[in-house]
Homo-oligomer: A and B are copies of this chain.
């Protein structure tokens, strides 16, 4: 059961949380836990109940990696990410009632941006918008955050680069910080959206990143360093846990149905929802440098894809590997420049299930390295 791999690290998070959280945090954390558990069970129940409505509405796809097999003939409901996303929005809404911290505006901004992103993602899934609209959608959805953001616009300058700022540790970015926030939203959403194409990959990577973010936040709840802003740091990480724990829970329920062989597809709805949730958490809790460490597979995939994305190499609609029907294994198509094909080219042919496990393991490895590096990075950066 590879799905167990998505659950076990959660206990590490729980243990660190028990060690690091203060007594006064527990009301919020307990409410979050209960709501997330509810979110998980409701998502788990609703997906099989509603999924046929998606097929009836014409929202379905065929599993291209099983072309020529009986499984490849079945209509698989598409854009089912709408269900966990809606339940997530509800959880976040109700959680607000139990929150202690008073950064209501930012919480609502994140909430509004994620809701708007889900709306646009679902509209994209239904209407099959053109590529140029796709790129603009996350920018549009990040607008609520951009107009409501009232936090700082400084960034920490990494120590080795401080000669550029005459020794100053903080650099005031002003309007550039807003551009940076918008770009991070666009990157996170599209990075997950283009690292896709085999059963379970979109939601698998998201769940693993969510676990890494949760662990990072729990570790930081007992922060060291500059005493001045300890309380602020704590609040930030609680805030991020508020946003990510229900996301983890509802996505886990989706993973149960999306894992190989997929009974549902997640759609752009889920990829946008996932990317935007991470971007909001990272921006508002100020750990975007750390988030990028967790996004290394997506970064590699993005950079490696650039020749196709900008059109130097022809780009087909789906950049998938080829199924060898004799062996039942997927084989790399070398002209499709993405991490899925690169992995197959390096390791050799794999079944779809094996490939997803390999890619998820790589994701987990990068996240673990990120978590280890974070101690070093935090020292280096501050």
Contact = CB atoms under 8 A, between A and B. Distances in A.
B122 A123 contact: yes
Interface in A75-109: 82, 86, 89-90, 93-94, 96-97, 104-105, 108-109
A280 B97 CA distance: 20
A129 B86 contact: no
A187 interface: no
A123 B56 contact: no
Contacts of A128: 53, 56-57
A87 B317 CA distance: 29
Contact of A112 (B112, B120, B127): B112
B90 A140 contact: yes
B56 A148 contact: no
Given A97-B147, A143-B94, A147-B93, A123 B86 contact: yes
Number of copies: 2
A57 B57 CA distance: 9
B104 A148 contact: yes
Contact size class for A? Answer: 35 or more
15 contacts: A50-B127, A57-B58, A57-B127, A59-B126, A82-B123, A90-B143, A94-B143, A94-B147, A97-B147, A104-B105, A104-B148, A105-B108, A108-B112, A111-B144, A112-B115
Interface string A47-72: 00010011011110000000000000
A119 interface: yes
A53 B129 contact: yes
A89 B129 CA distance: 19
A116 interface: yes
A118 interface: yes
A129 B129 CA distance: 24
Nearest to A115: B115
Given A109-B108, A148-B96, A148-B108, A86 B143 contact: no
A120 B87 CA distance: 11
A177 to B, nearest CB: 16
A93 B142 CA distance: 10
A272 to B, nearest CB: 12
Given A53-B128, A112-B112, 14 more contacts: A53-B127, A56-B128, A89-B119, A93-B143, A93-B144, A94-B147, A97-B147, A108-B112, A108-B144, A111-B112, A111-B144, A112-B115, A115-B119, A118-B119
A147 B96 contact: yes
Contacts of A56: 127-128
> Which residue, of A54, A89, A90, has the highest number of chain B Cβ atoms within 10 A?
A89
A29 to B, nearest CB: 18
Contacts of A94: 143, 147
Contacts of A90: 140, 143
Nearest to A83: B123
A89 B137 CA distance: 13
A86 B147 contact: no
Contacts of A89: 116, 119
A148 B127 CA distance: 33
Contacts of A93: 143-144, 147
Given A108-B109, A111-B144, A120 B86 contact: yes
Question: Closest 4 interchain pairs by CB?
Answer: A58-B58, A119-B119, A53-B127, A108-B108
Interface in A116-171: 116, 118-120, 122-123, 126-129, 140, 143-144, 147-148
A99 to B, nearest CB: 10
Nearest to A97: B147
A126 to B, nearest CB: 5
